[in-house]
Amino acid sequence: MANAVMDPRTETGSPLVKSRPGARVLIYSHDTFGLGHLRRSRALANAIVEAQPGTSVIIISGSPVIGNFEFETGVDYIRIPGVTKLHDGDYRSLNLNVSLDEAVGLRQALILQAAKAFQPDVFIVDKEPTGFRGEVVPALDYLKAAGCRLVLGIRDVMDEPALLVPEWERKGAKTALIRYYDEIWVYGLKDVYQPLKALDLPRDIESRITYTGYLRRDVPPTPSLTKYPKITKQPFILVTTGGGGDGDDLIDWVISAYEADAELDQPALILFGPFIDRDKRRSFVERPARQPKLDVMSFDNKIEWLMKKADAVVAMGGYNTFCEALSFDKRTLIVPRTRPRLEQYIRAVEAERLGLVRMLSDYKEPRTPERMAAALRALSSQPRPSKVVIPGLLDGLDRVRERLTVLTESRPQFAAAYHQAAE
């Protein structure tokens, strides 16, 4: 990693110009739970270095599984101590035997040190303007003073306005958005959903928002080393819950449908995800074993290959899975989580309105095996997403690369800026 330049001037007294070949991008991945933020940050990082050879990207992440993923040349990561979300909504340190406050303090110090050592031209913060419990604020102060361009990247849907507004008020997120960020990238389309509309932002802040479109996904350049079950050699339904930490209801509902309806013809492969509770996983393995049309897998770090092979997809409707279903043009049934947030439900409602997916929810109707069986059976006749023409729908990575080019062309040219920021 590059060392911070400590002497801001040459012997002649002229400003010392940075001598480095390509731009540098630092990404902070807000990943206290699940895989969503990490996988989105990885997609962005890989796309950036593919489009701009010579660029270096570092992802800062607390995800315990970040090492399981492949990154393009030019991308690396810094693993900071993880935190995990408890069932009551609180948090604790994931592995270290320290208090949450101490864990956050350590994370904060490492983020700031990474910013000082790497000297990025652009800093992309995922989802939370101040980071987890404000941990990214010292880095924002330092980088803003140094002339680094600051970007907040958010998914298409955050939460229902009634919860988002007070949450952002409590965290000081709106104030941070106004104070720090040069641009806000919404990884979706304005005509689909406006995640920050309820915040009543000043007009000049609204002008900083770019709706990029959704982030298109491709299969990785090398196939997965995971051995797929025999069930994948025929048309099958892929059932995925993302990270798996909160997908119990979906898995149980699908298994119940096959247990209740012996006439369900199309087989299904259930992908648990790395964060599923071990006891529940054991139960879910035993039940499909008695169903000839079901099989299971634990985790695949190249799920894109499975997604491409599948005939249809059943998912909770997190951001990344939604992007993959659109990218691979899969008939998709969204079964959204409705607790503790309505993010997935809102996305599913809007996507169904546009004809991109169909939704099955237990938000207002009972969760019965018969309802799921009927929905699974209907998948084979469901139109594919490509039947709906929506301009710019999957242009997200292209728009990000365009904006990044603009930002890096105006990057600070003198190491003195970073020296002055450190004083």
- Sequential DSSP letters for 307-322: HHH-SEEEE---HHHH
Mean pLDDT of 198-220: 95
**CATH code of the domain in which 379 resides:** 3.40.50.2000
Least confident of 15-19, 204-208, 244-248, 294-298: 15-19
Same domain, 191 and 308: no
**Are 89 and 340 contacting, i.e. CB atoms less than 8 angstroms apart?**
yes
* Domain range enclosing 356: 230-387
Strand arrangement, sheet containing 294-297: 294-297, 268-271, 237-240, 312-315, 331-334, 358-359
Quote the pLDDT of residue 419: 62
Instruction: Annotate 371-391 with b (16+ C-beta within 10 A) or e (fewer).
Output: bbbebbeebeebeebeeeebe
Give the 3-state secondary structure of residue 155: strand
Same domain, 59 and 157: yes
| Average pLDDT of the chain, as a whole number | 89
Same domain, 183 and 280: no
Same domain, 129 and 51: yes
Least confident of 69-73, 119-123, 272-276, 285-289: 272-276
Quote the pLDDT of residue 325: 96
Any bridge partners for residue 126, and if so which? 153
Same domain, 202 and 323: no
pLDDT for 324-339, tens place per residue?
999 999 999 999 988 8
**Are 271 and 257 contacting, i.e. CB atoms less than 8 angstroms apart?**
no
Same domain, 193 and 149: yes
Residue 83, domain member (yes or no): yes
- Cα radius of gyration rounded to whole Å, the chain: 22
pLDDT for 220-279, tens place per residue?
888 877 889 999 999 999 999 877 567 788 999 999 999 999 999 999 999 987 766 777
Residue 158, domain member (yes or no): yes
Same domain, 358 and 399: no
Q: Residue 348: which pLDDT band, with cuts at 50, 70 and 90?
A: very high
Residue 5 in this model has a pLDDT that exceeds 50: no
Between CA 240 and CA 321 the distance in angstroms is 8
Same domain, 91 and 237: no
Residue 8, domain member (yes or no): no
Residue 414 in this model has a pLDDT that exceeds 50: no
CA–centroid distance for 167 within its chain: 20
Same domain, 38 and 174: yes
Residue 143 in this model has a pLDDT that exceeds 50: yes
Residue 137, domain member (yes or no): yes
Token pair belonging to 98: 């320290």
Between CA 40 and CA 124 the distance in angstroms is 12
DSSP 158: -
Same domain, 250 and 200: no
**Are 324 and 220 contacting, i.e. CB atoms less than 8 angstroms apart?**
no
Quote the pLDDT of residue 263: 93
Residue 17 in this model has a pLDDT that exceeds 50: no
pTM value is 0.89
pLDDT for 161-194, tens place per residue?
999 999 999 999 999 999 999 999 999 999 999 9
Token pair belonging to 1: 């990693």
Residue 354, domain member (yes or no): yes
Quote the pLDDT of residue 10: 36
Same domain, 250 and 287: yes
Give the 3-state secondary structure of residue 134: helix
Mean pLDDT of 81-108: 89
**Are 150 and 123 contacting, i.e. CB atoms less than 8 angstroms apart?**
yes
Residue 298 in this model has a pLDDT that exceeds 50: yes
Query: Does an H or E element contain 28, and which?
Result: strand 24-28
Residue 111, domain member (yes or no): yes
Quote the pLDDT of residue 410: 66
Please give the torsion angle defined by the CA atoms of residues 234, 235, 241 and 244, in that order, rounded to the nearest 10 degrees: 0
DSSP 34: S
Residue 382 in this model has a pLDDT that exceeds 50: yes
Closest by CA to 217, choosing from 139, 293, 323, is 323
Stronger pLDDT, 240 or 301, i.e. the higher one: 240
Q: Residue 111: which pLDDT band, with cuts at 50, 70 and 90?
A: very high
Looking at the structure of the chain, the number of domains it has is 2
Residue 225, domain member (yes or no): no
Residue 1, domain member (yes or no): no
Pairing mode, strands 83-85 and 91-93: antiparallel
Cα torsion 360, 242, 188, 379: sign: negative
Same domain, 303 and 211: no
